[in-house]
Structure 1
Amino acid sequence: MKNKSDKFARGKGDLIKVKKQKPKILVIHGPNLNLLGKREPDLYGEKTLETVHEELEKDSRRLGIEVEMFQSNHEGAIIDRIQEAGEGCAGLIINPAAFSHTSIAIRDALLCLDVPIVEVHISNIYKREPFRHRSLISDITTATLSGFGTEGYRMALRAMADMISESI
């Protein structure tokens, strides 16, 4: 029985079985998220970034997609990774953290992508200090999740899987 994810291509007179590549979702975490579970656990929870990654890996296998995680405290590194995502990436989930309120450069990099983008914030940014109420990227993302804790990443991944399956 033929696997649905297999395609066949002809090459030099022979049928060659070609495995269809799983769509890849890139998840970018901004500054201080490497301290998840340690930094302000009353606000951000006790799960570590490693635990979040393990949950996303497990979910991605169930959803039939590939997930790649990236974290940096440096704006330029995040911009470089966004620019690299243009090739081979079916969607992007980003928690720009504090950069969401300050980085026009990250916004400009995101504008270069032609894939769905979901913005995630662990805390509800609208229940925090007034300077956190405005995100410079929300108006250019496909969707924004705020205040669901680290579960927001998993919600974003499920939504992204639905979005990209509709576009295939």
Structure 2
Amino acid sequence: MPGKILLLNGPNLNMLGLREPDIYGHDTLEDVVALASAEASKYGLEIDALQSNHEGDLIDALHKARGTHLGCVINPGGLTHTSVALLDAVKASDLLTVEVHISNPHAREEFRHHSYISLAAIAVFAGAGIQGYRYAVDLLATRAQA
């Protein structure tokens, strides 16, 4: 079993802790990576983390992870609702993928209620704050061991 989980965070997630703390809280992207890494280490796994404001960087990371990572935890940010290309990359990666959202998109604006990425995800954690990342890593690690 590959010992890595790809952790992808999309546009504007580098601004966690600063951007709309009433919606996203005060935790930073560094806190997210530390939380996911701590959970992964419980299973002897590593996190390979990337945040990008550029769709193509996320797509390239998914392509490179095919066959080298056991799964992917992805918070696509705003690309969730717009990117068929990112959906296609998730499918092409052939990775077990878990989608994460810090806030609950279904409790927000109508346009946030649809996710392209969910079509390829084995699970979605939304509205649990950054704990959703921990749940996602736990799920992937558990599935990989089965």
What TM bracket, shorter-length normalisation?
A: over 0.9
**Aligned mates of 1:84, 1:159 — CA distance in 2:** 22
Q: Which residue of 2 aligns with 1:29?
A: 9
Are 2:90 and 1:90 equivalent residues in the alignment? no
Structure 1 residues 58, 101: CA separation in 2 closer, same or farther (over 3 Å shift)? Answer: same
Q: Which residue of 2 aligns with 1:127?
A: 107
Query: Cα deviation per residue 1:45-88 (whole Å; 9 max; x = unaligned)?
Result: 10111111112222221221111111000011111111111131
Q: What is the aligned-residue RMSD (CA, Å)?
A: 1.1
Secondary structure of the structure 1 residue equivalent to 2:98: strand
Secondary structure of the structure 2 residue equivalent to 1:63: coil
The counterpart of 2:50, out of the listed 60, 70, 88, is 70
The counterpart of 2:34, out of the listed 44, 47, 54, is 54
Structure having greater relative contact order (Cα 8 Å, sep ≥ 6): 2
Structure with the bigger percentage of strand: 1
Moved over 2 A (4+): none
Aligned pairs, number = 146
Secondary structure of the structure 1 residue equivalent to 2:68: coil
Q: Which residue of 2 aligns with 1:138?
A: 118
- TM-score with structure 2 length normalisation? 0.96
Gaps of 5+ in 1: 1-20
Structure with the bigger percentage of helix: 2
How far did 1:115 drift? 2.2
Are 2:80 and 1:107 equivalent residues in the alignment? no
- TM-score with structure 1 length normalisation? 0.84
Query: Cα deviation per residue 1:142-166 (whole Å; 9 max; x = unaligned)?
Result: 1111111111001101111101111
Secondary structure of the structure 2 residue equivalent to 1:112: helix
Secondary structure of the structure 2 residue equivalent to 1:47: coil
How far did 1:22 drift? 5.6
CA contact (8 A) 1:22 1:64 kept: no
Query: Cα deviation per residue 1:92-126 (whole Å; 9 max; x = unaligned)?
Result: 11000100100011011111122210000110000
Whichever residue aligns with residue 39 of structure 1, its letter is: R
**Aligned mates of 1:62, 1:22 — CA distance in 2:** 15
- Structure number with larger C-alpha Rg: 1
CA contact (8 A) 2:24 2:129 kept: yes
Secondary structure of the structure 1 residue equivalent to 2:115: coil
CA contact (8 A) 2:16 2:27 kept: yes
> What percentage of residue pairs aligned between the two structures are identical?
45
